[in-house]
Structure 1
């Protein structure tokens, strides 16, 4: 009888606990499960977006070698699609870099600035951010906005792009007429390239052109 009472008391205790805590337990399980499935869904959606963007970008690359108007127009539509439908992926910045290059070739520097600013702001990697910044500075120099270019180039961390940053800085300073400062920037660019094991004869030619006679 004692054992039976004990079992009955245990059952009654469980019933009472469930009355007091059952709904909270269910809610906790639902929240945890919801969070898990929500995360899984987000991961799946992210993967699907990346695969879709990759497929569109592949079409862009296939059309890149063609100069036919129809292909150029199709490529433009695909690039716009990457920026709008896949804005959260790395391919959106790739698309903006493509469009900026096309704009420069067409002589439309304002459009190039717009695209490069988009690429810079939406860059998902440091490498893309550096690349967009350097190209944007080059376009600013072409627009004779030298101080804006120098401001863009004044970054704390240049990484593997140090040589390029310093070269473009030299270009901006030379365009401003600050020859000594430009020579110093080119010298630093050459040194940075040597440290990184990079060979850039163009910046060396720029430095030679400013050599003191």
Structure 2
């Protein structure tokens, strides 16, 4: 049975009241209210996703002005203002959407490039506070750890704590272990750093990836090791 209009619902309630009395009518009314509420919630959710997607597309359109031909080109001040406005709108109005998380991750990347490490840290902490999907959480956590290490080598333990809490899949193992190696190195633990870098190299090879920087880090640690003799 489908209820096509409010008038039909009212007529149904009148007939039920007449035939069965108050208990049944109350039960039906509760069910109808629940169905109507769910339909309204679903419609609202779809509208919010559409609006958030539109804002995110504005962000992509802004970036494509220079980056289609020069991917490394810095943003202009006007572009930065647009990015900041779009990210702020997404955070304020659509905080739980994936678009807000992705836009904020991009903002944090730009802030790192501009050497605004405190701002980048705040952006990444915002993403994590929204409890995003596992892949986004991993990405944001690794970037936050790297920002902390860039701010100060004294943040090594804090960065390591963030990374060890991750339950990253195989596709992110190389990235996470590489960041762990950097954290151990900041703590002065070269043995643990070497172990982490080796895990990263092995994971990258298992995924068919070539990470020459990781091998370079391992070679540097080997060169720094005290020679026997």
**TM value normalised by structure 2:** 0.79
2:98–2:132: 8 Å Cα contact kept in structure 1?
A: yes
1:56–1:82: 8 Å Cα contact kept in structure 2?
A: yes
Higher radius of gyration, 1 or 2: 1
Q: Does 1:101 align with 2:101?
A: no
1:195 to 197, 201, 206: 206
2:162 to 152, 159, 162: 152
Displacement of 1:34 in angstroms is 1.2
Q: List structure 1 segments (4+ residues) > 4 angstroms apart after TM superposition.
A: 17-21
Which residues of structure 2 form unaligned runs of 5+? 1-15, 67-74
Q: Distance in 2 between the 1:208 and 1:87 partners?
A: 43
| Superposed CA RMSD | 2.0
After TM superposition, the structure 1 stretch with the greater mean CA deviation from structure 2, 159-168 or 129-138, is: 159-168
* Matched residues, number: 197
Displacement of 1:52 in angstroms is 0.7
Which residues of structure 1 form unaligned runs of 5+? 1-16
- Paired residue for 2:29? 30
After TM superposition, the structure 1 stretch with the greater mean CA deviation from structure 2, 167-176 or 63-72, is: 63-72
- Paired residue for 1:115? 123
**TM value normalised by structure 1:** 0.85
Q: Distance in 2 between the 1:24 and 1:49 partners?
A: 37
